[in-house]
């Protein structure tokens, strides 16, 4: 790694640079799969960079490189010296360096994703490193996890609950997870997904696209001319022009993420506890579909799948 800058900018200065998106969560929850999915969805329309924080290997970085979802040169791996949470929260210097290295080499960029090393529920990104952060849980960790809260679950700008297809097998009740998450997150959005089935994580991708649009709007990042429309896989997503139109001037990112539901056309939904009922969420249908769709065994690794499958998002009505 190495940033061969003409000059070193003050890292705290957000104007004119890419949105920095942190993706955290426990080991095995699907962070790397989500990063790959976002690269797949957003790569055609956004200028991307990725920083991985592997615990003991460069496995995550290698997986992304092999997946072919992004130019391998645009992936920077950071070692964290046994302390993944330190590297994203207390001493973010190495991650900042990696982000700035990407921006120097490939900039201007629209989005730099920083994937944390798998850590516990208390690990969150420093605001000095990530402008927005996603926390990823999976249903196999047990449906009590959202209730236990912790800064990752409660304060992340977006909570993604992954591997919904496994819910029936592990006895996880998505309704419970939804209700608990909503209760501790004070209206911040939650998305249920199965990246194994929706290889483009299109709902999450749409949320990220909107965050990038607002960021550009607020911080004056030059638009990338010649943008193509989103690929067919991100159905429901729009081109940048359209997104920019949807987000009225003066609406701040904070307003949007706090409302969650107010972004028109976006499937992101702030799930409120009282709006939920057992039949309000198509838990059964999704779980059943999840199994029947491919007859995929839960052991099957996410990265063994290459075909795009239709998404089965679980959302509140």
Partner 1 sequence: MDGMRGDPAALLLLADSRLPAGGHAHSGGVEEAVRLGTVTDVDDLARFLRGRLATAGLVTAALSAAACELAAGEPDLVGGPGSGGEAGERATAVAPGPHAPPARPYAADASWRTGVNGGPGAAAGVAAAEDVRRRLWRRLDDEADARTASPAQREAARTQGRLLLRTARRLWPSAALDTLARAIPEGPHHPIALGAAAASAGCEPQQAALAAAYTSVTGPATAAVRLLGLDPVTVHRLLADLAPALNDAAHAACASLMDTVLTEPVLTDTALIDGVPTDGAPMDTTLTGKTPADPALGDPALGDPALGGPAGIDTPPGDAGPPPGDAPGAARAEWRGGWAGLPGHSAPALDLLAEGHLANPMKLFVS
- What is the DSSP annotation of 88-119? III--HHHHHHHHHHHHHH-S-SEEEEEPPS-
Looking at 1-9, 148-156, 254-262, 296-304, which segment touches partner 1 (CB under 8 A)? 1-9
Q: Select from 175, 165, 114, 115 the least CA-distant residue to 138.
A: 165
CB 126 within 8 A of CB 92: yes
Instruction: Pick the closer one to partner 1 by CB: 23 or 94.
Output: 94
Q: Which of 32, 41, 52, 80 binds partner 1 (CB under 8 A)?
A: 80
Looking at 7-15, 30-38, 201-209, 219-227, which segment touches partner 1 (CB under 8 A)? 7-15
Instruction: Pick the closer one to partner 1 by CB: 35 or 94.
Output: 94
Q: Does 81 bind partner 1 (CB under 8 A)?
A: yes
Please tell me whether 139 is known to bind a ligand.
no
Site string for partner 1, 92-111 (x = CB under 8 A): xxx-xx--------------
- What is the DSSP annotation of 19-30? EEEEEE-STTSS
Looking at 50-58, 182-190, 249-257, 299-307, which segment touches partner 1 (CB under 8 A)? 50-58
Q: Does 15 bind partner 1 (CB under 8 A)?
A: no
Minimum Å gap between C-beta 8 and partner 1 is 5
Measured CA to CA, the distance from residue 193 to residue 205 in angstroms comes to 12
Residues 6+ apart with CB under 8 A from 124: 24, 88, 89, 133, 135, 151, 152, 155, 156
Q: Which of 79, 155, 239, 309 binds partner 1 (CB under 8 A)?
A: 79
Give all strands of the β-sheet with 111-115 in edge-to-edge order: 75-79, 48-54, 111-115, 19-24, 132-138, 158-162, 190-192
Annotated binding site: 25-32
Binding site for partner 1 (CB under 8 A): 1-8, 10-12, 55-58, 78-83, 86-87, 90-94, 96-97
């Amino acid at each position: 790694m190495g940033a061969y800058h003409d000059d070193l900018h003050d890292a705290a200065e957000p104007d004119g640079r890419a949105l920095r998106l942190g993706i955290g969560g426990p080991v095995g929850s699907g962070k790397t799969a989500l990063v790959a999915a976002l690269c797949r969805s957003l790569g055609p329309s956004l200028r991307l960079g990725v920083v991985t924080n592997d615990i003991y290997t460069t496995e995550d970085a290698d997986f992304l490189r092999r997946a072919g979802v992004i130019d391998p040169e645009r992936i920077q791996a950071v070692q964290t010296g046994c302390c993944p949470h330190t590297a994203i929260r207390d001493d973010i210097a190495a991650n900042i360096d990696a982000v700035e290295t990407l921006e120097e080499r490939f900039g201007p960029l629209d989005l730099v994703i920083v994937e944390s090393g798998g850590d516990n529920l208390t690990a969150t990104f420093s605001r000095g490193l990530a402008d927005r952060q996603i926390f990823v849980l999976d249903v196999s960790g047990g449906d009590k996890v959202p209730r236990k809260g912790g800064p990752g679950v409660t304060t992340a700008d977006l909570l993604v609950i992954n591997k919904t297809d496994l819910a029936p097998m592990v006895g996880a009740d998505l309704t419970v997870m939804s209700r608990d998450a909503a209760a501790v997150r004070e209206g911040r959005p939650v998305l249920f997904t199965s990246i194994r089935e929706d290889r483009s994580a299109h709902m999450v991708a749409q949320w990220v696209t909107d965050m990038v649009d607002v960021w550009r709007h607020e911080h004056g990042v030059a638009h990338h001319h010649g943008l193509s429309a989103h690929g067919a896989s991100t159905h429901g997503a729009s081109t940048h022009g359209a997104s920019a139109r949807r987000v009225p001037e003066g609406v701040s990112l904070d307003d949007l993420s706090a409302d969650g539901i107010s972004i028109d056309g976006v499937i992101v939904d702030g799930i409120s506890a009282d709006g939920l009922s057992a039949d309000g969420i198509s838990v059964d249908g999704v779980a059943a579909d999840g199994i029947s769709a491919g007859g995929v065994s839960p052991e099957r690794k996410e990265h063994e799948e290459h075909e795009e499958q239709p998404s089965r998002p679980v959302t509140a009505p």
